[in-house]
């Protein structure tokens, strides 16, 4: 994962609470630039969204996603199809929006990103043979801290577009791992190795595994391995953004 609270996050909690309250009281304000939203805009204004670095096509995002994962895992992590809507750059407007989604209680924003991602997935295909959608789970302690799992909300947004069920009951995070932010590629892999477990015999043939941001693919690889051990035959992956190499 790319997103993380800074080392001084605990000291910034009053400011974060103020931002959450501000958006509750003034919901028609852009979460990035704080300018008023106009009709048709939700959470982010059109100007800030225009700064999001979108891939040119779904196939272009899959090509870069495969290259990123192959450079870390070779042929050890194979997936059926892959989608990312945006390239993630540090300090970008997209990072600000995703930070608000993940840490400031704006779970409806995660749903919006999910719906955008679902529409992006359909842009190159009218039909997808995915059986169900599986969000990358949070550990129960972390979910209590944040109050919701952003990947779950993203998955629900995708589901509304693809008309596929969300199956959060198929995978659990059995170990409370530290954040991936700031870790080397090797440390990221070790951090999440064995962290996930399939909860039931998986009868579905083709699963879509969903997360918010892909950096090296370590989290996706560990989650996919657990799903395969549980009986999944084919796994595709999707995320709102893929971290750019900078």
The predicted pLDDT at position 8 comes to: 37
The predicted pLDDT at position 174 comes to: 82
Q: Among candidates 154, 134, 149, 124, which has minimal Cα distance to 207?
A: 134
Whether 77 and 36 have beta carbons less than 8 Å apart is answered as no
The predicted pLDDT at position 2 comes to: 44
Return the number of other C-beta atoms located less than 10 Å from residue 49's C-beta.
Answer: 18
Q: Where are the domains of the chain?
A: 53-94+110-243
Distance CA 126, CA 162 (A): 10
Low-confidence ranges of the chain (pLDDT < 50): 1-19, 178, 180, 183-184
For the chain, the 3-state helix, strand and coil shares in percent, each to the nearest 5, are 45, 15, 40
Question: DSSP secondary structure string, 74-87?
Answer: TTSS--S-EEEEEE
Assessment of whether the complete model's pTM goes beyond 0.85: no
The predicted pLDDT at position 147 comes to: 76
Q: What is the dihedral of CA 227, 232, 235, 240, to 10 degrees?
A: -40
Give pairs for 35-39: CB < 8 Å, separation 24+. Answer: none
CATH of domain 53-94+110-243: 3.40.50
Distance CA 102, CA 112 (A): 13
The predicted pLDDT at position 21 comes to: 53
The predicted pLDDT at position 202 comes to: 82
């Amino acid at each position: 994962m790319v997103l993380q609270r800074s080392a001084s996050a605990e000291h910034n909690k009053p400011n974060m609470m103020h931002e959450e309250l501000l958006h509750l009281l003034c919901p028609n304000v852009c979460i990035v630039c704080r300018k008023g939203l106009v009709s048709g805009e939700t959470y982010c204004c059109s100007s800030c969204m225009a700064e999001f670095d979108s891939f040119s096509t779904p196939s272009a995002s899959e090509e870069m996603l495969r290259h990123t994962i192959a450079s870390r895992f070779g042929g050890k992590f194979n997936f059926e199809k892959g989608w990312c809507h945006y390239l993630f750059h540090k300090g970008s407007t997209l990072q600000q929006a995703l930070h608000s989604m993940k840490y400031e209680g704006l779970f409806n924003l995660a749903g919006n990103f999910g719906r955008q991602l679902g529409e992006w997935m359909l842009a190159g295909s009218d039909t997808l043979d995915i059986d169900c959608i599986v969000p990358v789970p949070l550990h129960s302690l972390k979910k209590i801290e944040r109050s919701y799992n952003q990947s779950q909300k993203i998955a629900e947004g995708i589901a509304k577009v693809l008309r596929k069920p969300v199956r959060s009951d198929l995978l659990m995070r059995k170990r409370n791992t530290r954040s991936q932010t700031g870790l080397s590629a090797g440390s990221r892999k070790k951090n999440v190795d064995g962290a996930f477990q399939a909860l039931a015999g998986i009868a579905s043939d083709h699963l879509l595994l969903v997360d918010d941001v892909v950096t090296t693919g370590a989290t996706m690889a560990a989650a996919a391995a657990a799903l395969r051990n549980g009986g999944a035959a084919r796994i595709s992956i999707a995320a709102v953004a893929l971290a750019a190499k900078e």
